[in-house]
Amino acid sequence: MAWTYTTKEIVSAWAKIAQADLLDQYSDWAEALIDDWQGTTYLGTTAYTDEKHSGDGSSVVFVDHPPIVSVSAITVSTGQVSSSEYEIFPYYIQLTTDPLTETSNALWRPNVWPEGVGNILISYVGGSETVPKKVELAATQMVSVIASVSERQGADLSLKYSRTTENLGDSETMTERLGLQATLRSIMRAYLGPKVQIR
């Protein structure tokens, strides 16, 4: 499964590291971290049947395996939801709104998912047929960092996980974490964004 999100050639060109020094484990680790961060994997599209979600009284519900390619059916405790009653976005499905009265288009009442535990069943196709470029960039940088840390053995071992403090003015001090974990997290935060789900 290694080298699904990036390639040795790309990492080597990016970080100026010989391809022979790029172990398969580096890619496996980076991809596992990305999958865990995103809550999904980028290995092609998959059909999901009756994926359970809990309604919380909001108008949106986030799926477990984005991006959404298509939705075949949504069922709630009150019955089937018509395709004209919702809009599909890459990461979530949102109910459309209804006019408050037949003659007024100025006043709107949002439709919301009924509250309940596991009361929304969604059948859809999710995932990506190709690895998104931002995921490829994140994986490339993460593998580069892992390989660089692996090469720096010995003298700077104690510096890998240290804290640094910088004075920014009279009384302002910035404390920053350096090291492998902090760097990998910052790459995922910058390119992948937080995984947000409403349950």
pLDDT tens per residue across span 134-177: 999 999 999 999 998 887 654 444 444 444 455 555 555 444 44
Q: Which two tokens stand for residue 145?
A: 């960092």
Q: Which two tokens stand for residue 77?
A: 């405790």
pLDDT of amino acid 162: 45
Instruction: Please give the C-alpha separations between residue 165 and each of 158, 172, 176, in angstroms, as whole numbers.
Output: 16, 10, 6
Higher pLDDT, 37 or 173: 37
pLDDT band at 17 (very low <50, low <70, confident <90, very high): very high
CB 51 within 8 A of CB 124: yes
Angle at 120 between CA 116 and CA 125, to 5 degrees: 155
* E strand or H helix at 53: strand 46-53
CB 77 within 8 A of CB 52: no
Instruction: Please give the C-alpha separations between residue 153 and each of 23, 49, 158, in angstroms, as whole numbers.
Output: 16, 49, 10
pLDDT of amino acid 98: 61
Q: Which two tokens stand for residue 66?
A: 């984005």
Mean pLDDT of 41-61: 90
Torsion of CA 177, 180, 184, 187, to 10 degrees: 60
Euclidean distance between CA atoms 182 and 179, whole angstroms: 6
pTM above 0.75, yes or no: no
Tell me the average pLDDT of the chain.
Answer: 81
Euclidean distance between CA atoms 73 and 92, whole angstroms: 14
Say yes or no to pLDDT of 108 above 70: no
Euclidean distance between CA atoms 92 and 102, whole angstroms: 28
